[in-house]
Amino acid sequence: MTSPTTRSLEVDFFRGIVLLIIAVDHISGSVLSHFTLHQFAFCDSAEVFVFLGGYASAAAYTALATRRSHSAARRRFFKRSWEIYRAYLLTAVLMLVCGALLMLLKIDSPMLQYTEWPALLARPFGLVFDIATFRQQPYLSSVLPMYSLFALAVPMAAPLAQRKPVIVMFGSLLLWLAAAPIAHALPSSYGQAWSFNPFAWQLMFVTGVLARVQPVSDTFHASRTARWLTCAAIAFALTFAFAKLFLETQAPPGYMKQNLATLRIVSFAAVAWIVARAVYAGWIGDLARKLPSVVTVGQQGLVCFIAGTCVSLVLDSALRAMGVENLGRSPSHWLAGLAADAIAIGALLALARFWADRKAKAARAKDAARVTSSKPTPRRLPVIERRPVPAHAGNRRRER
């Protein structure tokens, strides 16, 4: 188990995996998307992403509060909320730019409507206002407004979860139960409100916070109860996989994901416990150390998420223009899908490495400037002016 003030290698690894999966899952002709979590469970990478967000936020808050103070941690998360809001605006702008390119290149894709570009042409000032106030959230940017609100809640949720975890858990459950009716209070120009109802998805975020500040003890992991829970989780996971592969005939309705349906929670809980046992056994840590580039993607989460949205939309549109919307029997479709997957994953890995090096270089420059400014200025001794001796002064000494 990791210390409350240290960064978890396994969490960064999982965040990297999830960001890569999010990118390929939004490419219509992707090959790898047929082997990701949503194909075998009633949850997908969204649950994992939000849970890990809560876990990482609690870790960052407790570390900063321990190292400096709670007021410093609160200021950091208020700033973090503003950073996520700016990232949302940037993602929305990039979605609009992609929509403009789709229209300019005359690519027939349903993604054009999702980017909100036609709405911008119809009412430019109204749409800009709606995007800034969360009333309209262009394609793939819709998860960030929820995250911005969660960042504001961390300074209250994390300390309370440390002191009174039962109250936090039951309060989160009650809010989740009332989520669907109160979602209409959110600012939205859509009839169905936000794509991710924050009043529902806060349950997944708070669960991640609790998992960090109230970790499962080694004693419980070694108990018979933990082994029985593992057997039950495996049974649930296999049952859900069978249902998804052989019984489900059509995709579940969107409101189940929007409001975080019970089935999705149970499915995620089964997978999460199995993975937690693998983390406890050390398997995930060993794998993360063998794949440091994936860990780097997880550490550069926000910039990789923004880039992943654009990469997936561009590759999805390119495949649609080539007629590769779904994998058919043609080998060329499979090759095109694999090529798109490779480009998406390669782009995110390269960007993460570049961004990490850039941040490290900036940090070294900052440290060097701090060291230079902290060095004491050497004291200068007064300069004694020496006057030239006249040439005839030596002759006078000899005469004497």
**DSSP string of 133-189, one letter each residue:** TTSS--TT-THHHHHHHHHHHHHHHHHHHHH-HHHHHHHHHHHHHTHHHHGGGS--S
Q: 281-291 pLDDT, tens per residue? A: 999 999 999 99
The Cα-based distances of 274 to 184, 227, 277 in angstroms read 36, 10, 5
Q: 296-353 pLDDT, tens per residue? A: 999 999 999 999 999 999 999 888 888 777 766 678 888 999 999 999 999 999 999 9
Size of the chain in residues:
400
Question: Is residue 397 scored above 50 in pLDDT?
Answer: no
Identify the pLDDT of residue 398: 47
Least Cα distance to 345 among 13, 11, 6, 22 occurs for: 22
pTM, rounded to two decimals: 0.89
Confidence of residue 203 (pLDDT cuts 50, 70, 90): very high
Share the mean pLDDT of the chain. Answer: 89
Q: 72-125 pLDDT, tens per residue? A: 999 999 999 999 999 999 999 999 999 999 898 888 777 888 899 999 999 999
Report the alpha-carbon angle 375-377-381, nearest 5. 150
Q: 99-114 pLDDT, tens per residue? A: 999 898 888 777 888 8
